[in-house]
Amino acid sequence: MKITTLALLPILLLVGCVASYSPNPGEGRSARMPLKQNGGTWPTSHVQGIAVDVRGGFIYYSFTTLLAKYDFSGRLVGTLVGWTGHLGDLDFNPVDGRVYGSLEYKKDRSFYIAVIDVGRLNQVGVHAGSSDIFRTVFLPEVARDYTADMNGDGVFDGDIAKTPDHRYGCSGIDGVSFGPEFGRADGPRLLTVAYGIYANTSRTDNDHQVLLQYDISDWAHYERPLTESAPHHSGPAEVHGKYFVRTGNTTYGVQNLAYDESQQRWFMGVYKGTKPAFPNYLLFAVDARTQPVRGDLIGVKDQSGSGTEKGLVIPLADDGLRDAATDIRGWNQKGNTGFQPVGSGLTYICENSGSKGSQTADLTLYRWKGIPEVPYVPATSSDLGH
């Protein structure tokens, strides 16, 4: 695709929705989108996800227990702290101007979408517990699968991989992104949440990525402050859709989920799997217009134990490297600690580095090249119309 100017990049307006978010004139946009940016060094775990507000000119970094906000010029605008759970992947919602992210409390068997009013995050050290900037919505579907007693022994084995418990190998949630309903590239944008999946090589029922879609138009009445001493369970009882993509078992499932409007494609960045029967790629994709089909979930037994469970299955995109033995397609491209398309074939990819308690993030803008061995190459000033 020909890259024109930055003015063509804000393709994030949602079809069928009226955007209420309007950044302050000039706020954050004193600089063009950077080709590179450093997300600071923090006494946290590694960077887990990013979100980009193309119109407003801000980049957000999730360091699991800290959210950092930078403008396009590289100025630190603010940080949000004050929770002990695991804040994972992020996405920016241009409809309401808020950042949505996965938030796990495995010990409490509680899984949330954090809803962060980032437009009001304008100072360093804002505490989530003492500000209404930070709200949460509980996801009952995830909790049910995470706590499922699959061997029927009456005991939930907890946050461990070496157990038959946890339906589909569910370890919680990680990837988060807004995009269309699977099977189409138009229509209202839904919030899509990807399961974490335990890397258990002794199981056959954990070889799918599990994706939940939610219509968040009525989520306002679910949103609650997070009180860690008494985790709430306010959230949607049902999902808009539940889908399965067979990739082979990965290590903790989809870490970064991202919808690329310019390619009309969903990307899934993962940590490399460990099952030798699979190619164990680092990045997978499904095309937006590919229709989910109700079919067998290979390796997953149904409730009777004698048949195969069925679900809405989406095949991988017919692109990238191909494993002849399994027909699985993908790329050996890092996308598990920050992966965010920003339009016109451009994508920010984040590299994590540092030691325990001193973590940093280096962001680079890449251009889609489409070669199976080298899907992305670093962008240049000409890609931004400089």
Summarize pLDDT for 291-345 with one digit per residue, the tens. 999 999 999 999 888 899 999 999 999 999 999 999 999 999 999 999 999 999 9
For residue 249, tell me if it sits in a domain: yes
Judge contact between 58 and 72, C-beta under 8 A: yes
The pLDDT assigned to 144 comes to: 98
For residue 1, tell me if it sits in a domain: no
Containing 140, the helix (H) or strand (E) segment is helix 140-146
Confidence of residue 27 (pLDDT cuts 50, 70, 90): low
The pLDDT assigned to 346 comes to: 98
Confidence of residue 20 (pLDDT cuts 50, 70, 90): low
Judge contact between 215 and 239, C-beta under 8 A: no
Q: Which residue has the higher pLDDT, 31 or 54?
A: 54
For residue 248, tell me if it sits in a domain: yes
Segment 260-280 mean pLDDT: 98
For residue 338, tell me if it sits in a domain: yes
For residue 129, tell me if it sits in a domain: yes
Closest CA to 251 of 267, 237, 270, 268: 270
> Which residue(s) pair with 195 in the sheet?
173
State the Cα–Cα distance between residues 282 and 215, nearest whole angstrom. 29
What is residue 95's DSSP assignment? T
Q: Which residue has the higher pLDDT, 375 or 386?
A: 375
- Residue 365 has which token pair? 């803008």
Question: Domain span at residue 310?
Answer: 6-384
Summarize pLDDT for 338-369 with one digit per residue, the tens. 999 999 999 999 999 999 889 999 999 999 99
The pLDDT assigned to 30 comes to: 64
> Which residue(s) pair with 251 in the sheet?
271
Confidence of residue 384 (pLDDT cuts 50, 70, 90): very high
For residue 295, tell me if it sits in a domain: yes
Q: Is the pLDDT of residue 14 over 50?
A: no
State the Cα–Cα distance between residues 118 and 133, nearest whole angstrom. 7
Summarize pLDDT for 164-213 with one digit per residue, the tens. 999 999 999 999 999 999 999 999 999 999 999 999 999 999 999 999 99
> How many domains is the chain partitioned into structurally?
1
The pLDDT assigned to 26 comes to: 55
Summarize pLDDT for 86-109 with one digit per residue, the tens. 999 999 999 999 999 999 999 999
State the Cα–Cα distance between residues 224 and 136, nearest whole angstrom. 5
- 238: helix, coil or strand? coil
| Percent of the chain whose pLDDT exceeds 70 | 93
For residue 294, tell me if it sits in a domain: yes
Q: What is the value of pTM for the model shown?
A: 0.93
Segment 208-229 mean pLDDT: 96
Segment 156-161 mean pLDDT: 94
For residue 319, tell me if it sits in a domain: yes
pLDDT averaged over every residue in the chain: 93
Q: Other CB atoms closer than 10 Å to residue 272's CB: what's the count? A: 13
Least confident of 20-34, 111-125, 270-284, 315-329: 20-34
Judge contact between 246 and 298, C-beta under 8 A: yes
Closest CA to 37 of 73, 69, 6: 73
